[in-house]
Chains A and B, each alone.
Chain A
Amino acid sequence: MAAITIENVGKTYAGGVPAVQGIDLNIRDGEFVVLVGPSGCGKSTLLRMIAGLEEITEGTVRIGDRVVNRLEPAERDIAMVFQNYALYPHMTVRQNLSYGLKNRGTPRDEIVRRVDEAARILEIGAYLDRKPRALSGGQRQRVAMGRAIVREPSAFLFDEPLSNLDAKLRVTMRGEIRTLQRRLGTTSVYVTHDQLEAMTMADRLVVLRQGRIEQVGTPLDVYRNPVSTFVAQFIGSPSMNLMSGTVRAGEVRVADAVYPAPGVPDGAVTVGLRPEDFALVPGGARAGMPARLVNIEELGSQRLGYFRVGGETVVASFPAGQVLSTEMTLYPDLSRLHLFGADERRIDPAPLRAGAV
């Protein structure tokens, strides 16, 4: 077990394009950190630099108290799980699990003990003598996990390990991985582009954008206080509604409604509201937004209404039985209203106090 300290790390590929820049991140011992972001944002690059599969062109990476920049992957005391599992096709499951231990000169009975232990934990004992070809996707995934845990490394690195599984299995496996990680207490860095996977698994989320860290925080923190329109849209599904508004004299005007925005400088802003933060009856908000219903999506547990509000499309979610009509008024939850400036950064209004309005 070890902490991973990343200081000012950057990576420029041969072509001269910086893929990752100025990353500072402290991953605590035993923590499960998820790197999330759209395709090409540099998640894999960062993870592979930690693994030692990609040369670090800038900054330092420390695992425990060792700087590992110049160490071979095998010397870094990490284990990695790949998207395509990368099991050795010509070896049985048992040989796959043992290979790394053998290379390290682990005594034979110790190898047997650890492989059996991993097989018990992952319930793969029945297929220890099969080749990977004869396993289902989920079983291969478990074997890949097994190969990581037999090593008892100080950190697990995962690069989209669930993306080759079907949706249902993905949900099961993400729970299993998390349970296992808690039980072993091994520091983990997990890469995914799936925001739901990121939200559900992470102790802490790291949102990457074009090779830089956009935001770091617990899933709820990031969900509730996205630092930019980018994060606001990336995290949460359906994503946050963004509407254009204008601030004048401490009030924001959006879609014909006016809401308090104390201390916010005058000018154009982006107003963000999550689909679940609308009500059909006036609550705290004095003014509602006139909305015309254009479509309804039934999700079973809830229904999503698509509305035209001002010139924009807004999604709002309601409980399953909620009746919706063509012309309605949507009342936003003011405590959940997000404002973003022209630079797409979050603006926090001065605290709203009862009576101040």
Chain B
Amino acid sequence: MQTKRTIFGNRWLPYLLLAPQLAVTVIFFLWPAGQAVWQSFLREDAFGLKTSFVGLSNYTRLFDNAEYINALKVTLVFSVSTAALALISSLLLALALDRTIRSSRVYTTLLVWPYAVAPAIAGVLWWFIFNPTIGIMPYLLERVGYDWNHALQKGDAMALVIIAAAWKQISYNFLFFVAGLQSIPASMREAAAIDGAGPVKRFWTITLPLLSPTTFFLLVVNVVYTMFDTFAVIDATTGGGPAQATMILVYKVYDDGFIGLNLGSSAAQSVILMGIVIALTIIQFRYVERRVTY
């Protein structure tokens, strides 16, 4: 691992400098993570009096549990739809911005600020807009003959959380797509134009392939976002309902652990989630070009 050519010779100072970070890491990250792993092998009896070691049974039970399988499916649908919606709309905006040189700063300012809006607030805003009794969207949908009610209809609930989650993520993706587009040398597109490629053809043959590292990076980031950071969106809108229709994995860990007090199962779910994050992190570091090098 890289250091400087010359280094300071102090014996204790480096440990002192690292102490705060490592203390927080051990106490609030490693220890709880270890606890989660340990608890995932235990089960409490119905009265919380006796705890016994049950091996992998918490895990096997999970995969026999229809609710958990449902949560897996819900997470998949939610993640893929949200990521797709957020990526495609932000790419369109970035491409549009790339054509408007003069006014680009104004548009950028007008488009980036939702990054600063908390996922929970985004949820509340869209929840209000889609409120079945007074919301503007149900009112408009009723005009075209659709009866919106996300408190009762599963599809409506899923649509609501997808829209709220994607809305919040657009500005982040937009900024990275803009940066990605700017790093494509103008000479490439000019060369293609001279070769007679029209704007649409140029997009598919030049721009999109050259954007693929950015797209892949954003895909990973968006998946992580939809799997974890959207807890607040769900909690502020549907609370996982109706009938588990928006019960994503992260929300279920919370629901089982804090509301249902089923610690063994919640811990096993935590461990599975950790596995997913670790896999995503490895993908991000192995296959996505990063400035961090080891």
Closest CB of chain A to B146's CB: distance in Å? 62
Interface string of A46-63 (1 = CB under 8 A from B): 001000011000000000
Q: Which chain A residue lies CB-closest to B6?
A: A53
Main secondary structure of the interface of A (DSSP, over half): loop
Instruction: Using C-beta atoms within 8 Å of the partner chain, give the interface range for chain B.
Output: under 10
Closest CB of chain A to B1's CB: distance in Å? 13
Complex Cα gap A48–B6 (Å): 10
Complex Cα gap A53–B6 (Å): 6
Chain B 184-205 interface residues, beta-carbon cutoff 8 Å to A: none
Closest CB of chain B to A317's CB: distance in Å? 42
Q: Which chain B residue lies CB-closest to A54?
A: B6
Chain B 1-26 interface residues, beta-carbon cutoff 8 Å to A: 6
Residues in A with CB closer than 8 Å to B6 are 48, 53-54
Closest CB of chain B to A192's CB: distance in Å? 20
Report how many residues on chain A are interfacial, defined by Cβ distance under 8 Å: 3
Chain A 27-53 interface residues, beta-carbon cutoff 8 Å to B: 48, 53
Q: Which chain B residue lies CB-closest to A53?
A: B6
Closest CB of chain B to A171's CB: distance in Å? 30
Q: Which chain B residue lies CB-closest to A51?
A: B6
Closest CB of chain A to B283's CB: distance in Å? 34
Closest CB of chain B to A236's CB: distance in Å? 33
Residues in B with CB closer than 8 Å to A53 are 6
Chain B 224-252 interface residues, beta-carbon cutoff 8 Å to A: none
Complex Cα gap A319–B6 (Å): 50
Interface string of A69-85 (1 = CB under 8 A from B): 00000000000000000
Complex Cα gap A124–B6 (Å): 31
Complex Cα gap A163–B6 (Å): 22
Interface string of B44-76 (1 = CB under 8 A from A): 000000000000000000000000000000000
Closest CB of chain B to A79's CB: distance in Å? 17
Closest CB of chain B to A182's CB: distance in Å? 31
Closest CB of chain B to A14's CB: distance in Å? 11
Closest CB of chain B to A321's CB: distance in Å? 52
Residues in B with CB closer than 8 Å to A54 are 6
Complex Cα gap A54–B6 (Å): 7
Complex Cα gap A53–B7 (Å): 9
Residues in B with CB closer than 8 Å to A48 are 6
Complex Cα gap A48–B5 (Å): 11
Closest CB of chain A to B63's CB: distance in Å? 51
Closest CB of chain A to B188's CB: distance in Å? 33
Chain A 234-274 interface residues, beta-carbon cutoff 8 Å to B: none
Interface string of B148-174 (1 = CB under 8 A from A): 000000000000000000000000000
Closest CB of chain B to A350's CB: distance in Å? 51
Closest CB of chain B to A43's CB: distance in Å? 15
Closest CB of chain A to B89's CB: distance in Å? 42
Complex Cα gap A53–B4 (Å): 12
Closest CB of chain B to A160's CB: distance in Å? 15
Closest CB of chain B to A106's CB: distance in Å? 24
Complex Cα gap A54–B5 (Å): 9
Complex Cα gap A142–B130 (Å): 70
Closest CB of chain B to A45's CB: distance in Å? 11
Interface string of B269-290 (1 = CB under 8 A from A): 0000000000000000000000
Q: Give 3 nearest A-B pairs by CB, closest first.
A: A53-B6, A54-B6, A48-B6
Q: Can you report 3 residue pairs joining A to B where beta carbons are below 8 Å apart? A: A48-B6, A53-B6, A54-B6
